[in-house]
Structure 1
Amino acid sequence: MGYKFSNIDKERVIFSLDIGTRTVIGLVGVCDEKGIFKIIASEIREHEERSMYDGQIHDINGVAKIVKEVKQSLESKIGKELDKVAIAAAGRALKTCRVRVDRDIDIGTEIDKTIIESLEMEAMQKAQELIETNKVIGESKYYCVGYTVVNYYLDDNFIENLEGHRGSKIGVDLLATFLPHVVVDSLYTVMNRVNLEVINITLEPIAAINVAIKKNLRLLNLALVDIGAGTSDIAITKDGTIVAYAMTSIAGDEITEQIAKTYLLDYDAAEKLKINLNKETKHKFTDIVGIEHELTSEEILDSIIETIENLAKEIAKRILEYNDKSPSAVFLIGGGSNIPRLPELIANFLGLPKERVVIRDTSSIENVEGIPEELNGPHAITPIGIAITAIQSKYKDFLEIIVNGKKVKLLNSKRVKVSDVLVLIGYNPRNLIPKRGDNFKCFINGKEKIIKGEIGEPAKIFVNRKPANLEYKLDNGDEIILKAATKGKKAVPRLYDLVNVNKCVFLNGEKMNLIKKVIVNGKSIDDNVIINENDEIVYDEIKTLFELLVEHNINTEENEIFINGNKVSGDCELKNNDEISVEIKKEKDAEKNSGHNTITLKINGEVKVISYEKDSFIFVDIFDYIDFDLSKPMGMLKLEVNGKKAELMQELKNGDIINIYWAK
């Protein structure tokens, strides 16, 4: 007699199928108002022929036949026709690709999330290209179902987090995982053949984790290993999500085959003996030539230990390869996980305490009732997980998203973000980052002047007409409007942007411009004209106090000089809006100065105003006005005028800069 469904139950019934390499497991259950999933019927059937290889359907008709048998058996048990099903794609069909992408950036721009996400998108697309390039001819395209960042780089140096930094080059080392379309397509074809509508599709590792590892444990770095008949599938979690998938082609069949070779048994007898190794301590069996054997489990395990060690070593090797270190713990599921000694050996190869590698069976599953005896084991984790995942998911297996008016379909193997859609459609991630306009170049007083272009506008993302970003989580039917980032304008400077013609000081309250005549391309310019590329600008500027005093014939010996209220005794650079005052230090002696000439010189850094009676003032005359002992040579005497070698009879001019010193 079948299960009696209430009207509410009919809406909450879940039919899940786990289509494995050797068996197909189906179960039907009902989720009550408290969220408890009650299993009301289950069925396990083995494939009659090799219709599946490593989790992928090869014989659609053969798989459809066994699925139909499971479906009909369950319908007879519950007294209700099943028309909807939850399924999972095999983790062993996943392909993983690790890539490194580097990008030059503007050193003046602070690295933000958009730049980082754009870099990650570029790496994901590169991984997709590599997967597509290396695929077998005739193979279908691949979905990207997840990725994890292994390392970031700033100017070729490892860095934990790029955000907030500045540099000229950024990079990312990324591990992306892909699922071939053919896996999903073949599953759908089988379901169509038996008149079942797929209400949810997930990945087997995700389904298993949903029930094998509690949510509060998923923040840890864990490895889940599903040891089946043909392959051992590995999923690695960190920060609450699966960050990597891996697979080894060594699994339970290797153990069965070694038992068959060691004791001359056919495959079915060897498989039965393997299964009983952890159930019984002694075993009696007859080999193919009629010899009877009576051995303990330990004796049999000792004889095949190398094969078990090899399986453990390969699993540990893959975990370390994709996790870069030993995880915090390892959970084993699948029929092959029951092989004695295997958990301890895996722990040994990973350098973990043996209690950190554990077998997860259905007894650890929460909020599930009515688990039948045939599902009491690690082999039933995945089919129950498929059902639980279907209950927890509000979304269908595929999302239909509209991007700039075009429809895109995505596999809903995880919460899909805007960035996932952009990767799928091949959107160039560099279009998300604003570009700086071209540089402008001109020459000022013979030196090259570069003005950087303006920064363009960043990309704008809208979901359902509201501002969003690359991390925005999408729902079925969402519409994305994407406006690419722009390139900034090239600078178009005017003369006064390059030359501060208003730079001035105030001398005794009177404004004095420091910028003198301005010439552009050989022509004197008074207006704020537009400067063109490669224009040559030349101008004179009074830069120092000495130059200003010479310009206005101010004698420092007879006057005291103050800048911004502070008395100065030597030369110094002038700043815009400096206030300079000149106060008479002593009265001029009109008679003394009558008929005299004066010259202002800067001698060894000191400004001097010298009075003389001759018609001209020559270099050698300086020694009459300075304290410099020529009678005690201290090296080679160096005489310079305006930075060049001086002649003793050289006539000096007002404003000349003199240096006299001993060179050793």
Structure 2
Amino acid sequence: MRDELIFSLDIGTRTIIGIVGEYTEDERFKVLAYSIREHKKRNMYDGQIHDIDGVVKLVKEIVLELEEKTGERLKVVSIAAAGRALKTHKIRMEKYIDGLKEITKFDVEALELEAIQRAQDEINEVEINKNFKYYSIGYTVADYYLDEDRIEKLEGHKGERIGVELLATFLPQIVIESLYSVISRVGLEVGSITLEPIAAINVAIKKELRLLNLALIDIGAGTSDIAITKDGQITSYAMTSTAGDEITERLAKAYLLDFNSSEKLKVNLSKKEEHEFVDVVGMQYKLTTTEIVNTIIDIIEKIAVEVSERILEFNGKSPNAVFLIGGSSQMPMLKESIAEKLGLPKERVAIRDASIIENIEGLEEVNGPDMITPIGIAIEGAQDKYKNFIKVNFNGEEIRIFNTEDIKVSDVLILTGYNPRDLLPKKSNDFIYYLNGKKRIIKGKEGTQPQIIVDKELANLKTKLYDKANIEIISSVVEPLVIPYLYDVVQMDKSVYFEEKEINLVKTIKINDEIINHNIILSPEVYIEVEEIKTLEELILEYKKDISIDEFLVNGAKVFHTYQLKKGDVIKRIVDIKEYNNIRDNEKKIKLVINNEEMEIYYKKDKFVFVDIFDYIDFDLSSLRGKLILKVNNRDAEYLEELKDGDNIKVYWE
């Protein structure tokens, strides 16, 4: 991309316009190529990007078309943000300087930047209880001062004190970041960024006209941006979120049209007198512009009311005249309605197109009111007015970032679209298998903690950055999970001693319905079925069906029928009733309600505590399946708390 080339993008709610131009020797701005794309779907609402990928796709198409037309590789672009959620702040800043030295351009720029930073501090102090962090997006100088006297230009003069009064404009961080994300993903670099009403007014209303009290309204699809001039300066910016899309949606409801058909009809209202279209149920219409406008006059007047109220709020009275720009400004009856709401003669509200911009050529074919803002963005970028960027090196790539008062590592990561998940330790994949129909998970291994290095020093997301800082992120390193064998997840040797015979409680193991008798390596998502004897009751029914369960002891103690057998348990039949009675006399009994089931439990310990219940209920604690919930009488339980008769126990995974 030749240094003299200027590339600008106007990323609007309904269209994206790209322009490539250059200044000629006689200081005229020559448009070499332009490209316009309409959003096929609602990628943006009210000037805010919602579908970043959708916007990126269109911008890529525009870049390719412009590169083909110009034969140049485009790298740096000027952009602008819509006036959505903007804040304006007027501030005056003064500083002492060396009175023996001439004032340089750098001195003036430093003064302006300091004023912007102070304005930003004040804005953020006011908004401190909200979730927004505001960025400076542009400013307009109202006056310069030299030793208390107002002066047109400071450069070249000498004095002891210089000052500036400017109107700084701020937008929430989220608006800026979405624009930066689009430009970064396309592979471009932001050369300058401004606000759409700033760009528009600087080309639509010449400086000498700003002695008059004028209002410029840029009515786009998503927002209506307003700039007001008085006494030779721009005094304020404002916006409403009521704009062209409101008309499109109103037409869609009135005539049962899809959004794109309704948008096409809206555009044609300013071009044709008669319109033929078919609604979604097949009904044909043939109507005049007047008939259609009368149907939707309420929404036209709503736009007029809202922009008029904002003008009166910021200007204190009706201005001398109003200029309308933007694609939706051409809507029939809109300018007349605005004139009525502001109490102005109809001729004092006029639609302006790009033909009013002085010293420009190459837009003869398309010079409508929707081209003013894209041209203004290009010219703002060419003047390189703000120069509020710093350059940093991020993972070997040079990045330019809008220079607020406190650039941090996190700002660069947001700008470059760095995935925040990459700042967390990586983890090997979980191993999932199914045991007796229940999903089981062997958690993957945690990797090393990623490191942020700034200028060879360990840093963090809040580390402050300066021009030419070098940022490197060392990624997490993780070892792969070791694939388990069958016997790692199923206990094969689970023997008990039943009447002096060793019995393995595990009867059969099936993997995907096939009986397995040896230790094999498992595959992910494998289904394992284990048939085993779990309780004392199941054991007796398997081997001694004709004998009562009450006639058996486990490890010399009387237990409940649902006692969960464990490896090494000794089960013996009571042969001496006297011995049995002695055992019962030495045992204690507790009655509990466990997961809505009444249970009577015998035990020999001094006291029965909460954790003991897992010896008597069928509840698997061998693997995590969520958060373990333990309750006693509807309160959180403690593992070693003593239980009492009648306690209501809840044990479950959440």
After TM superposition, the score normalised by the length of structure 1 is 0.49
Give the greater-gyration-radius structure (CA): 1
